[in-house]
């Protein structure tokens, strides 16, 4: 009976993998962005200026009577979450370590 149950377990298909080939290629880059540490006020200011606080460029427009929608760039950027996290670390560094007012970046 144990051989029959083990044989039936071998016949059940394994669940599909949640990871795509893109994840395999992009994960090392994601991890390297996540490992970046902000240790300089100059670098922190550059990061806060380069990475916007909102998701830009979502537009609705009409061309020749047809309506079009362009998605926000964050939906197209596979590293968006990592960049937002990096920006948050830069803002935290400026506010907590340097004691600066970061309201101009919000």
20 domain-assigned: no
> Domain residues for 63?
35-106
- pTM listed for this prediction: 0.67
pLDDT digits (tens, 9 = 90+) for 11-53: 555 455 556 788 888 999 999 999 999 999 999 999 999 988 8
58 part of a folded domain? yes
CB 40 within 8 A of CB 100: no
| Rounded-to-integer distance, Cα 57 and Cα 34, Å | 25
- Is 86 inside any structural domain? yes
What's the number of domains the chain is made of?
A: 1
**Per the domain annotation, does 90 fall within a domain?**
yes
Token pair for 90: 């830069």
- pLDDT tens-digit profile of 44-83? 999 999 988 887 677 777 888 888 877 776 777 888 899 9
């Amino acid at each position: 009976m144990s051989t029959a149950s083990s044989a039936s377990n071998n016949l059940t298909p394994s669940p599909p993998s949640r990871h795509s080939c893109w994840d395999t290629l992009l994960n090392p880059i994601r991890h390297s962005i996540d490992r970046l540490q902000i240790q300089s006020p100059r670098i922190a200011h550059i990061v806060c200026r380069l990475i916007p606080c909102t998701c830009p460029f979502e537009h609705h427009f009409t061309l020749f009577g047809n309506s079009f929608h362009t998605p926000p760039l964050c939906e197209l950027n596979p590293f968006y979450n990592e960049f937002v996290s990096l920006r948050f670390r830069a803002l935290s560094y400026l506010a907590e370590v340097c004691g600066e007012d970061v309201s101009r970046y919000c």
